[in-house]
Amino acid sequence: MATWRGFVFINMDPYAESFDSYRGTFDDYYIWPLENRYKSLHIGKVLPCNWKIAQDAFIESFHVIATHPQMLPWLADANSQYDVMADQPHWNRMINIQGAPSPHVADSVTEEDVLETFYDSRAFYSAAQGRDLVRQEGDELPAIPPGGTARQVLAERMRAQLAATSQQDFSQTPDTELLDAINYLLFPNFNPWGGAKSNIIYRFRPNGLDPDSCTAEIIFMSSPKQPGEMPPPAKIRWVPEDMLFADVPELGVLGPVFDQDCENLPYVQQGLKAMRKPGITLANYQESRIRHFNRTLDQWMDK
């Protein structure tokens, strides 16, 4: 057993390597103090696919143009950064710029469009969570100074909001930590988002012995309103398989996005069973994290 930033990791193998060496350089890159946050939401649901299929869907941004076209004006997808290192088999990362348009639509999107769609996508977000920028009914959009960008405006807004809701100083926090989607995978299935905002954690697990279904969990780690205060952790709430994530109000903007992500999962599962060739074809760069995960998995299965 080992603990890491408030999380408990258990390995039943008495001869397992230490969790410290297993993580490799992960701690040099995952820098956010989860131990100072508390579990403010924990949702679980059974999905109709293998756990690896579900996880694959959340570790690349190749799918954004097809699955989440509404995000293209403010989410840079085709130029996402994937960090996959051969000597670090147990973790990988991606960074997606937010507050800037996708290269697929950049020619037809203005800075004002970026700002407006970014805010609109969060219009129904729970302001009480303090997780994100919210435009209240009747709020004017902030003005973009001449020569400035939507991203600069959004970063300043986020900096001010986080300072106001957590009583901490974010004046030196880089824009990327305030705005971007920075997602890590610690093999096999600990999937924390980075950043100065409250963090999201995914966990995908087998559903008993059924290879055709899995459990998916979404956890929000939030900063206490006062430093040092630590509210009790939220208990896991299992939602029925036929319920949409969009109908879980606390998920806010993420609910319908998760539903989009989950829509094709049963078809991917069926497709894998219908394949004649021994492996799947992955995009060279955009799906490099999936390849990295499967290589590590193969190495473990060979042991």
Between 210 and 263, CB nearer to Fe ion: 263
Between 153 and 265, CB nearer to Fe ion: 265
81-83/91-96 β-pairing: antiparallel
CB of 294 to Fe ion, least distance (A): 19
Between 7 and 62, CB nearer to Fe ion: 62
How many residues touch Fe ion under the rule CB under 5 A: the total is 1
CB of 130 to Fe ion, least distance (A): 23
Between 47 and 144, CB nearer to Fe ion: 47
Which range in 92-100, 192-200, 256-264, 274-282 contacts Fe ion by CB under 5 A?
A: 256-264
The 3-state secondary structure of 157-209 reads HHHHHHHHHHCCCCCCCCHHHHHCEEEEEECCCEEEECCCCCEEEEEEEEECC
**By CB under 5 A, is residue 56 in contact with Fe ion?**
no
**By CB under 5 A, is residue 261 in contact with Fe ion?**
yes
Tokens 């570790």 belong to which residue?
Answer: 59
Between 180 and 261, CB nearer to Fe ion: 261
CB of 57 to Fe ion, least distance (A): 6
DSSP labels for the chain? -EEETTEEE----TTPPPHHHHTTTHHHH----GGGSEEEEEEEEEESS-HHHHHHTTS-STTHHHH-GGGTTTB--TT-EEE--TT-TTEEEEEE-BSS--TTTGGG--HHHHHHHHHHHTTTS-GGGT-S----TTPPPPPPPTT--HHHHHHHHHHHHHHHHHS---TT--HHHHH-EEEEEETTTEEEB-SSS-EEEEEEEEETTEEEEEEEEEEEEE--SSTT--PPPPPPEEPPTTS-GGG-GGGTTHHHHHHHHHTTHHHHHHHHHH--SSS----TTTTHHHHHHHHHHHHHHH-
Between 139 and 263, CB nearer to Fe ion: 263
Between 57 and 100, CB nearer to Fe ion: 57
Which range in 121-129, 175-183, 255-263, 285-293 contacts Fe ion by CB under 5 A?
A: 255-263
CB of 211 to Fe ion, least distance (A): 23
Which range in 99-107, 146-154, 245-253, 259-267 contacts Fe ion by CB under 5 A?
A: 259-267
Residue whose beta carbon is closest to Fe ion: 261
CB of 207 to Fe ion, least distance (A): 21
Which range in 23-31, 233-241, 261-269, 289-297 contacts Fe ion by CB under 5 A?
A: 261-269
**By CB under 5 A, is residue 180 in contact with Fe ion?**
no
Task: Identify residues 15-34 at the interface with Fe ion (CB under 5 A).
Answer: none
Bridge partners of residue 199, in order along the sequence:
221
237-238/38-47 β-pairing: parallel
CB of 177 to Fe ion, least distance (A): 21
Which range in 23-31, 198-206, 253-261, 273-281 contacts Fe ion by CB under 5 A?
A: 253-261
CB of 213 to Fe ion, least distance (A): 20
Between 177 and 261, CB nearer to Fe ion: 261
Applying CB under 5 A, which residues contact Fe ion?
261
